[in-house]
Amino acid sequence: MKKYAVIVAGGSGSRMHSNLPKQFLLLNGKPVLFYTLDTFLKSYKDLQIILVLPEDHIAAGQEIIDAFFNYDRIRITAGGRTRFHSVQNGLQLITEESIIFVHDGVRCLLTTDLIHRCYKAAIEFGSAIPVIDSKDSVRIVLEDGNEPLERSKIKLVQTPQTFHSKILLPAYKIDYKDKYTDEATVAEAFGLKVHLIEGEEGNIKITRPVDLTVAEGMIIG
Amino acid sequence: MKKYAVIVAGGSGSRMHSNLPKQFLLLNGKPVLFYTLDTFLKSYKDLQIILVLPEDHIAAGQEIIDAFFNYDRIRITAGGRTRFHSVQNGLQLITEESIIFVHDGVRCLLTTDLIHRCYKAAIEFGSAIPVIDSKDSVRIVLEDGNEPLERSKIKLVQTPQTFHSKILLPAYKIDYKDKYTDEATVAEAFGLKVHLIEGEEGNIKITRPVDLTVAEGMIIG
């Protein structure tokens, strides 16, 4: 089956106290986005990447591709107003029957093993959403106070959120709603029950300066 | 107001692939537990620590105290069957009106600022439970599938869970139930509404080998 990774790297970087969007910050001398692209390219020889970047950062993204990757497996397209619109833009480039991975560009520490497990589960179940357990107790804020949730039932959701194209492509023809915060919620609006698989503790989002330190520790370690 | 920190260090270390319980593993050459104790001792000059350890590890705990701390502000007591019973044992040593911090020994990266904020909030509201937002989307597992929760309403709970003694001491006279997974749930069973305050992203639990790497990065960084 053909494989596409839609890598969404749309963040503005405001939480990083830096004008540079976080996907371009350097981790051991290479941009965060390098690691993400590299791991996907390594995972399957026939996987194609669609990199979705804000208009202003397309040139910077092209520089990374030119500097680090010699081949023609990455296309860039412009992002939209929200993550939903960015993913929608990326999906417009896919017409073939395929397995589609939608991934946060700033989750640069995922492994090829996770990508392979997502692929297999998406082939079997139509979707694969990697999740991990919370190590902390979990509470929900109510109108009047807060209360505990049963931790064993709470899952923290990662990416790549992975789907068969025959689900994801029609699902993204829907009109946008604010509650579509990730691909799973869009697929559910389309009527699908999403299939959860085990994610990776190390598959963190780089969103704050401390995450870069953490990620450097993990890459070295 | 008098201040007590009940530091619970009861884990068996099974997730660390190590026979040494995780609170005794070395972080930049010093045991994890050293950092936890050190930060509490620095936070207030008149704060006393009650360190709750499994019977088998009391000698190891005493060695840390002897090696790193010159003064007489730390007492050790034996832990119980569950976290609830360990905390209950620790609280038996407190008879004075005080603010009581109950803290995971393996959360060794908390700051004195967090301790100070917990103290102030517990003075004002009777309790202070530090929480952070989830950076990931959150799902709940149901009998038949799973569904998204509104991320802005979900809080990940840390320690020190901090209370006025006049709440926590009577609350812990209750009979144990499995749902008492932390001090907040015990206080709620006693009829209290707990007060949430902002925790710290860096205030992680050291429970897996990768956490040690991460913690070393954060201590150096």
Q: What tokens appear for A89 in the block?
A: 């833009």
Phi-psi region of B126 (alpha: psi -120 to 50; beta: other; left: phi over 0): left
Assigned domain for B146 exists = no
Determine the 3-state secondary structure of A165 from DSSP. helix
Segments forming the whole domain that contains residue B208 = 2-129+157-220
What residues of chain B, 185 to 204, have a C-beta less than 8 Å from chain A?
Answer: 185, 188, 193-194, 196, 201-202, 204
pLDDT tens digits, residue range A125-156? 999 999 999 989 999 999 999 999 998 999 99
Assigned domain for B139 exists = no
Whether A221 contacts A29, CB under 8 Å? no
Considering only CB atoms, A156 lies closest to which of B134, B179, B201, namely B134
Assigned domain for B193 exists = yes
What residues of chain B, 24 to 53, have a C-beta less than 8 Å from chain A?
Answer: none
pLDDT tens digits, residue range B31-77? 999 999 999 999 999 999 999 999 989 999 999 999 999 778 999 99
Considering only CB atoms, B217 lies closest to which of A141, A151, A216, namely A216
Residue of B nearest to A221 (CA): B213
Residue A31 has pLDDT above 80, yes or no: yes
pLDDT tens digits, residue range A60-104? 999 999 999 977 899 999 999 999 999 999 999 999 999 999 999
Whether residue B140 and residue A131 make contact (CB cut-off 8 A), yes or no, is no
CA distance B71 to A154: 43
Instruction: Give B-chain residues touching A145 at CB under 8 angstroms.
Output: 193
Q: Which amino acid is at A120?
A: K
Within an 8 Å CB–CB cutoff, is residue A151 touching chain B? yes
Could you tell me the CATH number of the domain that includes residue B177?
3.90.550.10
Residue B16 has pLDDT above 70, yes or no: no
Assigned domain for A120 exists = yes
Assigned domain for B32 exists = yes
CA distance A118 to B198: 35
Instruction: Give A-chain residues touching B196 at CB under 8 angstroms.
Output: 139, 141, 146
Assigned domain for B184 exists = yes
CA dist list (Å): A32 to A25, A77, A216, B14, B101: 6, 19, 10, 33, 39
Residue of A nearest to B150 (CA): A179
Determine the 3-state secondary structure of A4 from DSSP. strand
Residue B123 has pLDDT above 70, yes or no: yes
Within an 8 Å CB–CB cutoff, is residue B146 touching chain A? yes
Within an 8 Å CB–CB cutoff, is residue B140 touching chain A? yes
CA distance A99 to A105: 18
Query: Does the predicted model carry a pTM greater than 0.80?
Result: yes
Instruction: Give B-chain residues touching A157 at CB under 8 angstroms.
Output: 136-139, 148
Mean pLDDT of B94-116: 97
Assigned domain for B88 exists = yes
For residue A31, the cross-strand partners are A26
Whether residue B147 and residue A188 make contact (CB cut-off 8 A), yes or no, is yes
Number of domains in chain A: 1
Q: What is the ipTM of this complex?
A: 0.90
pLDDT range class, residue A52, cuts 50, 70, 90 = very high
Assigned domain for A189 exists = yes
